[in-house]
Amino acid sequence: MPDGSLNYDDTIDISSLYGPFMYGGIDVDDPMVKSTAKFVEDKLLNTSPSGGVIRYEHDQYFLDKQQYSGNPWIVTTLWLSQYYAYAERIDDSQKLLDWSLAKQLRSGVLSEQFDPENGIPKGVAPLVWSQAELINTILDMSKHQQS
């Protein structure tokens, strides 16, 4: 803050799970990671009829329907899928991958995010980041299915 004080924000964000295990060197079996994953599942996964994972609670970016806590994103859904792959929860990982694949436009393009009620694409399409995380997820799943 301008006065030098800190403003603590305890909003759960999908990156609170993804960053530590993917880039922070913290094992997916660590109790903190497992606890965070449970919290993500309870607060960010399937919060609306269209399914998927929202970025964080009360995310207003492109949110038109205020009765929902946010729009589901391909990137965030695939991040949770990657966590599941690393945690050897392959069936859970596959479900989220299937959800993401079902959201492809006829051209194969993936959008940034989707309407929480009807699943219509919102935001940028194509979003290269979504396409990249799709590839990362498939590679992660294939690695962990073989182990």
The whole domain housing 59 covers 15-146
Number of domains in the chain: 1
- Sign for the CA dihedral angle at 110, 131, 80, 144 comes to positive
The CATH code of the domain that includes 67 is 1.50.10.20
Within-domain flag for 10: no
Please give the pLDDT value at position 9: 84
* Matching residue, tokens 């009765």: 67
Tell me the pLDDT tens digit for each residue of 34-92.
Answer: 999 999 999 999 999 999 999 999 999 999 999 999 999 999 999 999 999 999 999 99
Structural contact between residues 101 and 121, judged by C-beta atoms closer than 8 angstroms: no
Within-domain flag for 99: yes
Structure tokens at 27: 């094992």
